[in-house]
Structure 1
């Protein structure tokens, strides 16, 4: 039975690999051009993990930044949830590696696999733990090294992705439940496994014994994306009893600028209220939303009291949205 607790944001943080790769660097390596990439995706650059940079090291750096932003110590955390599709190992979980790196010796840590929707799924999952009263503070992380599962001969996919990590600290607090009060207000998650072939990785421990490469039917993903994400966003708004006009900041998964614009336009959200980072980060899968959130907090756009909508769609298909009062 849930109490009158609400999961409130205490801090955010992010981490990027040291190497930044502009579109021009890819020209010649694959049959592409800066103009082709920009027109189809809005991407101008991405970050690529190098030697010694893994999903867990990026996740740990993002977690440390989020804890510093929250003014908390690692020992204050009793729940670590990491959304990732590119773990360091088949097991153990990235979350347990982050837990160990931070010196946390209590609580629970686990990974959640919903591909690009991973962070939204992780926030929603952590919210249920916190509102149940079983845990007090959570580190929710989206972290990926997608460049390590790309086919660098496939120009339709290899130019679209990048690496990085973002983190959020959520804290269970007593709440009056009012719409204006801080915390996670509403969330909607969905999945439909019939669409596997449209976006998947052609390998795995139980099939090929290898990591495999990402495969995508880009036009099909685009065709489904806008309708699916606007459905869960509208569901969150209905649950909260508000209209899209109440949203201060729309922070979508950063897959493609055209999908972002089409989703905002369909919902009637002005583009000046949309946080866009796909140009600088490319598609970082589960890391894209927390990377964008951290940037918008650090540059002063997202402030206490703002109403923030996050949403994503990923392979599976999975998709979801969450409405948060900052």
Structure 2
């Protein structure tokens, strides 16, 4: 018996209402709008309100999904949330979101792989559905990066923002859906992008860290440019595709120069990369589902098109997925 195709059935996203333009940092730190845009491509980002958390952002992203697909949560029997900024270590962000959505009692767990987290969560949900452990999964990426970044640190404050995205994963018609994954991690690069937990330093060494995210921008940039191209090439091969088959690249929204480099490597026109980092900055695990949902809801991604989702970041980690888009997720069969 042929295994059923597993793909995305619905998408949704949410970004906080408060917009922080580059001028906000230019007035407080040693920087300018031109400097930020030229080095990152970011023009503004969103910051959560004091009463917003990773849970409430995630719930709002799912509410947005339900506006387009009112019945999307029917039959959901697995919830996975990718986040590095949980409200608590436990209960999980996924379980708390599930409680708000009337999914109490279903298995729920968090995945903490920083900016690669959404692809990891998507892979985990796909594997559990394929194994028969679940039939339909809600997969969320939700982050409040503004609270783990030192707002007085020019090198990081300008880059990160808050947001959430969500998808429902389940059976799609034959020929559609997820085709291959490429995942990896290398802790030797961990000190280059670090957010402390209980310990102030990594077991593998490195200097003690403060309470905020720290980043060696030069090292992370070099890693990202290399791994973005390598993992995308690998996942395309695993799916039995060629670069010419790819209609859309949905990359982690970290830096415009990294996205440009990936497009140049594969001969992909830049307008075939989904980009919204100019408006949201780096929202870590939320960036891919947020970008995907915007593109789908705008009608840019259509039935039968070939996508690659590609994330990279803390860990250092990376994750890519190849999938053929099912048009039913746009709300139009």
TM-score tier by shorter-chain length is: over 0.9
Alignment of 1:1-326 (within 5 A): 4-173=3-172, 175=174, 181-201=175-195, 203-207=196-200, 212-326=211-325
Q: Contact 2:12 / 2:293 at 8 angstroms: preserved in 1?
A: yes
Map Cα deviations across residues 168-191 of structure 1 (whole Å, 9 max, x no partner): 11113474xxxxx11101111010
Residues 53 and 3 of structure 1: CA distance in aligned 2, closer, same or farther (over 3 Å): farther
Q: Contact 2:29 / 2:154 at 8 angstroms: preserved in 1?
A: yes
SS in structure 1 opposite 2:80? strand
Q: Contact 2:79 / 2:98 at 8 angstroms: preserved in 1?
A: yes
Q: Contact 1:182 / 1:324 at 8 angstroms: preserved in 2?
A: yes
Structure 1 residue runs of 5 or longer lacking an equivalent are 176-180
Structure 1, 132-141 or 61-70: larger mean CA deviation: 61-70
TM-aligned CA deviation for residue 207 of structure 1: 4.0
Q: Contact 2:228 / 2:262 at 8 angstroms: preserved in 1?
A: yes
Q: Contact 1:70 / 1:169 at 8 angstroms: preserved in 2?
A: no
Whole-Å separation in 1 of the counterparts to 2:65 and 2:121: 16
Q: Contact 1:79 / 1:139 at 8 angstroms: preserved in 2?
A: yes
Q: Give me the CA root mean square deviation.
A: 1.7
Structure 2 length-normalised TM: 0.92
Whole-Å separation in 2 of the counterparts to 1:3 and 1:125: 20
Count of residues in Structure 1 that have an aligned counterpart in Structure 2: 318
TM-aligned CA deviation for residue 3 of structure 1: 5.9
Structure 2 residue runs of 5 or longer lacking an equivalent are 202-208, 326-333
Map Cα deviations across residues 30-79 of structure 1 (whole Å, 9 max, x no partner): 11110110000000000001121111000011112223433425342111
Whole-Å separation in 2 of the counterparts to 1:290 and 1:174: 22
SS in structure 2 opposite 1:7? strand
Q: Contact 2:248 / 2:273 at 8 angstroms: preserved in 1?
A: yes
Residues 321 and 57 of structure 1: CA distance in aligned 2, closer, same or farther (over 3 Å): same
SS in structure 2 opposite 1:31? coil
Whole-Å separation in 1 of the counterparts to 2:56 and 2:297: 22
Residues 211 and 219 of structure 1: CA distance in aligned 2, closer, same or farther (over 3 Å): closer
TM-aligned CA deviation for residue 5 of structure 1: 2.1
